[in-house]
């Protein structure tokens, strides 16, 4: 096995005394794990930062063997990890992608969308510029892995107007009229997901609650508390920004 490709670093885990196991997302070959010799060294630590864009070269003798990986840094986002809110956004976007994507299956739309979210965080650290993109990325993640939501028509009436909620069971939108008497059992559907445009903080937080419900139910089962903790840090820092 020999692969050379640009990739977004998603996760880094120490292995042995000096090495690291890295998971990186490529556009054409999907998520690729690899062992980086000396990955815990002072020289490689700044390179092995989740969200960095790298040129990776994977080599192994068999498809089953964990490939050895060498890396060249193309673009670093490491400076953003000194700012709490952008750092939380980068950590969550890369961690959830590493946790749910299968190895070796290409998802070019997800690669492009994730690259866009990370670039948006870098360009607008204040969050109003990237939180909407993050919600849309999470919806795309669900859809690409077979758990897409239906936000185009009402589960109760079949109509496509005045959609304001989502059923937590079916993932189908519900109109304001169709939700009468059941509002407290439904998830709020922010208008930016149906009509586009800008979003206020309440809509952004509603969007994050919506996607988290289905991510936890369908994709994050058994993935461990660390992933949910990363999401918790993100929401906590967003709430501080709102206050």
Distance CA 84, CA 107 (A): 29
- Is the Cβ–Cβ distance between 168 and 188 less than 8 Å? no
Mean pLDDT of 99-109: 96
Per residue in 168-211, pLDDT tens?
999 999 999 999 999 999 999 999 999 887 788 999 999 999 99
Structure tokens at 212: 């988290």
- Is the Cβ–Cβ distance between 12 and 25 less than 8 Å? no
pLDDT at 243: 67
Mean pLDDT of 213-235: 90
pLDDT at 16: 77
- Is the Cβ–Cβ distance between 13 and 20 less than 8 Å? yes
pLDDT at 224 over 80: no
Q: Which domains does the chain have, with CATH numbers?
A: 1-76 (2.40.50.140), 79-151+189-243 (no CATH)
pTM: 0.93
For the chain, the C-alpha Rg in angstroms (whole number) is 19
Mean pLDDT of 26-36: 96
Please report, in angstroms and rounded to a whole number, the separation of the first and last CA atoms in the chain: 51
Residues 6 or more apart in contact with residue 24 via CB below 8 angstroms: 7, 8, 9, 10, 31, 32, 34, 54, 56, 69
Residues 6 or more apart in contact with residue 194 via CB below 8 angstroms: 151, 163, 173
For the ranges 39-48, 76-85, 137-146, the lowest mean pLDDT is seen at: 39-48
Adjacent-strand bridge partners of 172: 150
- Is the Cβ–Cβ distance between 7 and 32 less than 8 Å? yes
pLDDT at 66: 92
Structure tokens at 95: 């961690």
């Amino acid at each position: 096995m020999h692969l050379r490709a640009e990739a977004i670093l998603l996760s880094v885990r120490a292995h042995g005394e000096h090495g690291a196991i890295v998971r990186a997302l490529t556009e054409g070959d999907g998520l690729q794990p690899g062992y980086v010799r000396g990955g815990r060294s002072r020289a490689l630590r700044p390179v092995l930062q989740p969200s960095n864009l790298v040129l990776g070269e994977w080599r192994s003798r068999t498809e089953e063997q964990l490939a050895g990986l060498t890396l060249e840094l193309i673009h670093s986002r490491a400076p953003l990890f000194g700012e709490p809110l952008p750092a939380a956004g980068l950590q969550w976007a890369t961690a959830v992608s590493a946790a749910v994507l299968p190895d070796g299956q290409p998802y070019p739309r997800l690669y492009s969308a994730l690259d866009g979210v990370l670039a948006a965080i870098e360009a607008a650290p204040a969050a109003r510029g990237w939180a909407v993109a993050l919600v849309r990325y999470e919806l795309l993640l669900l859809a690409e892995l077979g758990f897409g939501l239906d936000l185009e028509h009402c589960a109760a009436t079949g109509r496509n107007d005045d959609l304001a909620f989502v059923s937590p069971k079916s993932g189908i939108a519900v109109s304001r009229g169709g939700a009468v008497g059941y509002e407290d059992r439904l998830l709020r559907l922010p208008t930016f997901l149906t009509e586009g445009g800008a979003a206020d903080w309440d809509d952004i937080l509603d969007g994050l609650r919506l996607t988290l419900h289905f991510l936890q139910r369908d994709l994050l089962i058994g993935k461990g508390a660390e992933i949910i903790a990363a999401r918790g840090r993100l929401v906590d820092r967003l709430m501080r920004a709102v206050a």
